Structure formats: C-alpha cells, structure tokens
Amino acid sequence: MPKFSPAQRHLQQKLTAMSIAKAKSSVVAVERPTSGPEASAYALLRAQMGEDMRRLHDIQSTDLKIVAKREMLPTYADHIDTVLLTSEETGKAVQDEVFVQLMIWHFDCGDFDRALDMAAHVLKFGLKLPERFRRTAAVAVVDMVADAALSAIEQGQSFDLDILRRTASVVQGHDIVNEAMAKLHKATGILFIELAEKAAENTDGPAGAVRAAQEQALNHLREVLRLGGTGVTTRIRSLESALKKSAPTPAQ
C-alpha cells in the first residue's frame, strides 16, 4: 500500500516536475538540486527507498523478494509517472537513483512494458545505474530481458515475443557486448520457432506464415553464432531443413 499521504504524493509530483523543468540540459540528465523544496521532497523518496531496501535485505528467498517488491512499487507509481510525463513534455531530465532502482524492480517483477518505458528514459538521458552494476544501462536492460525470456523458455513457460522486439528497439544504437545480444537473439529465435509451430497448427492462418516465422527464427539464430553464442546449432539445422523442404518450386 502507498506509504505517502495524498497531499505528500501531490507535492512530490509537483516538485519533481519543477526540478526537471528547471534543468538546463536537454541532452543528458543533470544533477538534482541539493537544496530547496525539490531536494527535500526527493529526500523523502530516498528515505522510503532506503527503508524498502533494508526490508528486502532481510528476505532470503528470491521469490519472496519479488512478492515484496510488487507490494512496494505502488508507493512510487506517481513519481515514475511524473518523471516520464515531464521529461516527455520538456525534453529534459535529472539524475534519479530512485527511478533507476525502480526500473530494475519492474524488470525483476516481470512488468516488462513499464520497465521498458523507464529504460527508454534512462538510456535517452544517460541516467546512472547503481554502483553495484558493472554494466552499462543498455547492457543491463538486454541482460534482464534476455535472461527472463530464456528462463521462461527453459521452464516451458510462455514469453511475449513483442517484449524482445521492443527491447531490441529500445537499445538500438547503444554499445552492447556480444554475449548479451547473443542471448537476446537466441530467445527471439526460439520464440519465432514456437510461433511457426503455432502457425502450422492453425490451418486458417495466412499463407506463408509458417515459413516467414521460420526465416525470422533462422536469421536470429545465425546471429547468435556470429556473435559467439552457443546452443543453437541443432535448431539452425532443423530450420534449414524445414525451409528447404518448403521452398517454392519454379512453377509456383
């Protein structure tokens, strides 16, 4: 449940918007105000975050940590909304460690649409990750999504292919290590294989849907090999064989 009163939330929203609107840079996030009402309002958010982090530190189970994070996130929803809306309107941003930590929590909780909205802001304005991260923000985003997708695949669970494609779009143009991108391509390729299998079961589907999905899968899995990834050779051979068999004849 939210831990701030309605009046506190309204004031924080107002002061957060003011701190962003006052920023002089429109290219990268500037440092936050260190004094005044905006700084005081943000200090309250940081204090709440500190309290929640201490609570998480006392929880041993990863599953229970995720449950706790889901309970905590509504407390900060107004702050996230205000940051995203104000930055969109002004083209400006300020450094925000609370916002970045909340982005990570959204990824942890599987709320990928919200997390990617936040990631786009983090990458656009160059917000800094917590010091414990030894990766760039773009690499961290790819890792978190790809790892979640591959874990779901391994456990026979579903994962939204659009989340992977949106992730690739969000990090486009950023410097990503090969290992991370190989994982993203691997997960995407496997999900395209699953899409082809579903299309094959749907006899009322559009013509060529199976082959189109197989071709996409093959492209992504070949990219895995190009980037130095592993574990896709068998799938590549199977796709190449299937595509060869379904190749249209000259008469067709």
**pTM as predicted:** 0.88
Contacts with 197 (C-beta within 8 Å, 6 or more apart), sequence order: none
**Structural contact between residues 42 and 32, judged by C-beta atoms closer than 8 angstroms:** yes
pLDDT in tens, 40-69: 999 999 999 999 999 999 999 999 999 999
Token couple for 90: 């002004």
In 155-208, alpha helices (H): 161-170, 178-201
**In the chain, domain spans:** 1-130, 135-252
Q: In this predicted model, what pLDDT tens digit does every residue of 159-170 receive, in sequence order?
A: 999 999 999 999
84 phi/psi in degrees, rounded to 5 = -65, -45
Q: How far is CA 245 from CA 125, 186, 190, 249, in A?
A: 49, 24, 20, 10
Q: How far apart are CA 189 and CA 215, in angstroms?
A: 9
72 contacts: CB under 8 Å, gap ≥ 6? 52, 105
Task: For residue 112, give the H/E element and its range.
Answer: helix 112-125
Q: How far is CA 108 from the centre of its chain?
A: 10
Which contiguous run of DSSP H or E holds residue 66?
helix 62-72
* Residue in the structure block whose two tokens are 């916002």: 99
Per-residue pLDDT of the chain (252 residues), as tens digits, is 447 677 776 677 766 776 666 666 566 888 888 888 888 999 999 999 999 999 999 999 999 999 999 999 999 999 999 999 999 998 999 999 999 999 999 999 999 999 999 999 999 999 999 888 889 999 999 999 999 999 999 999 999 999 999 999 999 999 999 999 999 999 999 999 999 999 998 877 676 899 999 999 999 999 999 999 999 999 999 999 999 998 776 655
> What angle in degrees, to the nearest 10, is found between the helix axes of 97-108 and 37-57?
40
Asked if residues 246 and 210 have their Cβ atoms less than 8 Å apart, the reply is: yes
Q: Among 25, 196, 183, 173, which residue's Cα sits nearest to residue 95?
A: 25
Q: List beta partners, residue 30.
A: 94
